[in-house]
Structure 1
Amino acid sequence: MTEQDFTVTQGAAPHRAAAPSWQDELKATLLLAWPLVIAQLAQNALHVTDVIMLGWLGSDFLAAGTLATAVLTPVLLLGIGTVSAVAPLVAQARGARNIKGIRRVVRQGFWVSIAASALIIPLLLQIELFFTVTGQDPLATERAGQYMQIAAFSVLPALGIMTLRSLLSAFDTTRIILWITVAGVFFNAAVNYLLIFGNFGAPRLELRGAAVATLTTNLLMFALMLLFVLRHRRFKRFNILVRFWRPDWSRFWQIVRIGVPIGFTLLAEVGMFTAAALFMGWLGTDEVAAHAVALQCASTAFMVPLGLGMASTVRVGVGYGAKDRDAVARAGWVAMALGTGFMAFSAALFIAFSGVFVRLFLDPNQASNTEALALAATYLVVAGLFQIVDGAQVIAAHALRGLNDTTVPMLAAIIGYWFIGLPTAYALGFVADLEGVGIWLGLAVGLSAVAIVLTWRFAWRERLGLLRGIPA
């Protein structure tokens, strides 16, 4: 889309270009999604780097860092989910060719980021009190507090990054997201290496060093992304910081109204897998290790439909903003076909080569790993069985976000994950005595329930009134 594409002012009827084909939609989705997929993998690498280097420092330091991030991650996800509402709203404004609307949405995305940070950061700073009340190890509690006193302030730049990512994604400019995220991985690793261990004359800050790396990496990534948006000719015309302090409460509350359910949807899914890990802990250390390996494999494959889902939010949002029912349908179903197709492929790999994958994480030459290897291979086969529904649920949820439909998907996630998936996991794991396999089957049931509801909801979007305002 060129600068001339925005010659229509706010309130004017959107210009209708020649209708693209399904092949055009396929190409547009792939071009938008592939950098997002790799960027998500790089984002995971940020966490993996911290885990590896804290592990080198010692298991007690790793335990303290894990405790801290166990609190930081879900709270941050709630904020990120809320701010991610900027993506469909900008995409819709793009489809309607509304420059002023784009500027207002992004500006209020920053406002929501600031407001959310003002609520989240003071809570995170009380982490030592929380861990003391819940009976955690005193030394681990003290060290987790040291980490959080610095890392908590990374919330604001992290939410700012999400706001800018949403703008860039809505305009198909995703490669810069990839390059900045990859740069962040290397920068984070370098700062960790310097400050955790005190290498090359730097102070040895241990957990505080990891926290400084987290904060400075997020600040760097935000600064680079903001500089790109302010300087690039495609985005500087939006003047996103012009009259920054001018309130636009209708846009502010629109982001909150659409975004908060997204945040709770993310929490519901993450919470189900966290609870499953606790269930595994009741079975033994081999089961926990096997669960972690199988989950890492499944999570890596999940990055592909997640990236496709983000692309579907933008593509559906653009069609919705342009009041084009056919464009909405093409965007949603092309992403669904790509995502479930890839997950069918990954399912076949997991089922056929489960033993190969788990040996990448656990040394088969160590006798102590024998039981964990066997369990992990079995869990990965079960994970293969739910790959398709896992891909379907994330893409359907993102496609619905492009239509500003987030409250019902949130309720579907809470019910599906917490009132269907987890009870089934407990019943199969402990009542039916299937142990870890039963827990993973319960996860599959929960994901399947959510996938069915959300896919049906997108398929019935017209009858449910999700396309109101678009002429038939």
Structure 2
Amino acid sequence: MTKVMTYRGHAKAIAVLGLPLIGGHLAQFAIGLTDTVMLGWYGVEALAAVTLAGSYFFVLFLLGAGFGWAVMPMVATAAAEEDETSIRRATRMGLWASLIFAVLVLPLLIWSQPILLALGQEPEVAALAAEYLRVAGWGMVPALLVMVLKSYLAALERTQIVFWSLVGAALVNALVNYMLIFGNWGAPELGLVGAAVASVATQLVSLAVVVIYVLRSLPEHTLFQRFWRPDAEMFRRVLRLGLPIGLTNLAEVSLFAASAVMMGWLGKVPLAAHGIAIQLASATFMVHLGLSNAATIRAGTAFGRRDRAHLARGGLVAIGLSLLMSMLTIALFLGWGAPLVSLFMEPDDPDRPQILTIGVGLLAMAALFQLVDGAQVMALGLLRGVQDTTVPMVMAAVSYWLVGIPASYVLGFMLQWEGIGVWAGLSLGLACAGTLLMTRFWRRSIRKVAYLGGALS
């Protein structure tokens, strides 16, 4: 009889697995944060442009990242079943799907200016954002490949290399940014383009590090041997699981991208304040995301073993840890809003007072949606662990597109609450998603694992 793990045991296991993943996400986030801070020092127009460009890039990136996310539960389940062949097949076809997707969307990044103008952005900001994306867009290929390999390694509980590779990448990005944005150390001053070059270089370095590690530490999986050979059956499985994950990601990120577009309608100063506030909210979200990844892996292991008790207890502990993080974040955003926003601006910036006022208000709204944001990403992580992605995709689309985006527009423009109203709409969309997804996990997924376990006994 399998020994039931205690809640303390689950907490320890999630911490050991999740802390490096949280650190890795924070390091990944630091890459975008470095761009935001340094370009904020460079000028308000550059900050507004990179905020817009970053939202555009990540809409496409997170759609394609669904294939990498799919690899995580598939590998975790295969590892629990001691099926090394399926580990290799799933990871390899995840790389195939990601590479194909990156090539298909590359034209949308290289020629982005007409799309940004069609979205109603100021011509000057749209032109600068497009200039950034013409270079940074090439980083889509290595970024998505790294995503797959990170998921593969995390599912095998090799999270330390994921963490350290991303820390190294963040350091490379900061150094190249400092050199090329401002023209330091004898380099040309490239501004936005310098930040884009740094981002691409960082993604390439990350890919090289992870590939070398896989080749040296996990030769038994022979991931890249005869890589060119197709595997139609596994490719379909990756698509079936990964495409709904990608569309779920798209639904969520499009909510935030739409908020950036709406803030752009209010002007470059509100958009710059939005960029600062969203960076700070994203930093705390990385903790929830790392816990969600750990929950996916733990749920995938329980799914492979058909262990209902392991899934239920692990889910409760992961959700509890996310709730604790939400409480800490609420206190931070409400108590230290002004100092946090001030970090992103030069003291003598003429727009500083207005950006500070708007940014502090947006951070107060961000504090309000911490609980529901954490709830929805934890539920998604647990559902992905049991390979339940299609219905959650529909729930996410309804929550973000039919509730969140319309609510942001109505509150922000029809009721004239402006930026506060846009962010209130975000909160409503996230609350709807959190409620629906949590209900699905506890009402269906636990019973599903119990049924599969009984069928095999």
More helix as a share of residues: 2
Q: Residue 106 of structure 2: SS of its match in structure 1? A: helix
Alpha-carbon separation, structure 2, partners of 1:452 and 1:308: 18
Matches within 5 A, 1:8-407: 18-54=3-39, 65=50, 68-128=53-113, 130=115, 147-197=132-182, 199-202=184-187, 207-232=192-217, 235-283=218-266, 287-361=270-344, 369-407=352-390
User: Root-mean-square deviation (CA), in Å?
Assistant: 3.0
- 2 CA distance for matches of 1:139 and 1:348? 38
Percent identity over the alignment is: 42
- Tell me whether 25-34 or 115-124 shows the greater mean CA deviation: 115-124
Tell whether the 8 Å contact from 2:311 to 2:446 is kept in structure 1 after alignment: no
Q: What is the alpha-carbon distance in structure 2 between the residues aligned to residue 89 and residue 194 of structure 1? A: 41
- CA 1:125/1:414 → structure 2, altered by over 3 Å: closer, same or farther? same
The CA distance in 1 between the partners of 2:236 and 2:281, in whole Å, is 36
Does 38-47 or 447-456 show the bigger shift? 38-47
Distance 1:386 1:358 in 2: 18
Shift of 1:105: 1.0
Q: 1:307: Cα distance to partner?
A: 0.7
The Cα offsets for residues 102-130 of structure 1, whole Å up to 9 and x where unpaired, read as 11111111211222122122443333554
Q: Is the deviation greater in 121-130 or in 267-276?
A: 121-130
Aligned counterparts of 2:275 and 2:125: Cα–Cα separation in 1: 22
| More displaced 10-residue stretch of structure 1: 358-367 or 300-309 | 358-367
Change (3 A) 1:188 1:248: same
Deviation at 1:101, TM superposition (A): 1.0
What SS does the corresponding residue of 1:429 show, helix, strand or coil? helix
Asked if the contact 1:340–1:389 (Cα under 8 Å) also holds between the matched residues in 2, the reply is: no
Q: Describe the SS at the equivalent of 1:219.
A: helix
Q: Aligned residue for 1:6?
A: none
Of stretches 78-87 and 290-299 in structure 1, the one that deviates more from structure 2 is 290-299
Equivalent residue of 2:453, what SS? coil
Residues 195 and 372 of structure 1, relative CA distance in 2, 3 Å threshold: closer
Is the contact made by 1:364 and 1:370 (CA closer than 8 Å) also made in structure 2? no
Q: Post-superposition shift, 1:325? A: 1.5
Query: Residues of 2 paired with 1:283 and 1:208: CA distance?
Result: 26
In 2: Cα distance, 1:351 partner to 1:60 partner: 28
Structure 1 segments unaligned to the other structure (5+ residues): 1-15
Q: Please report how far the alpha carbon of residue 458 of structure 1 lies from its aligned counterpart in structure 2 after TM superposition.
A: 0.6
Query: TM-score w.r.t. structure 1 length?
Result: 0.86
Matched, 1:440 2:397: no
Please tell me whether the aligned partners of residues 52 and 260 of structure 2 are also in contact (alpha carbons under 8 angstroms).
no
Residue 288 of structure 1: CA displacement?
Answer: 3.9
Deviates more, 1:188-197 or 1:100-109: 188-197
In 2, distance between residues paired with 1:106 and 1:60? Answer: 41
- With 216-225 and 370-379 compared, the bigger mean Cα shift is at 370-379
Look at both structures and tell me which one has the larger radius of gyration over its CA atoms.
Answer: 1
SS at match of 2:444: coil
**One-letter code aligned to 2:155:** A
Q: 1:153 to 1:362 in 2, by over 3 A?
A: closer
Q: Which consecutive residues of structure 2, in runs of 5 or more, have no partner in the other structure? A: none
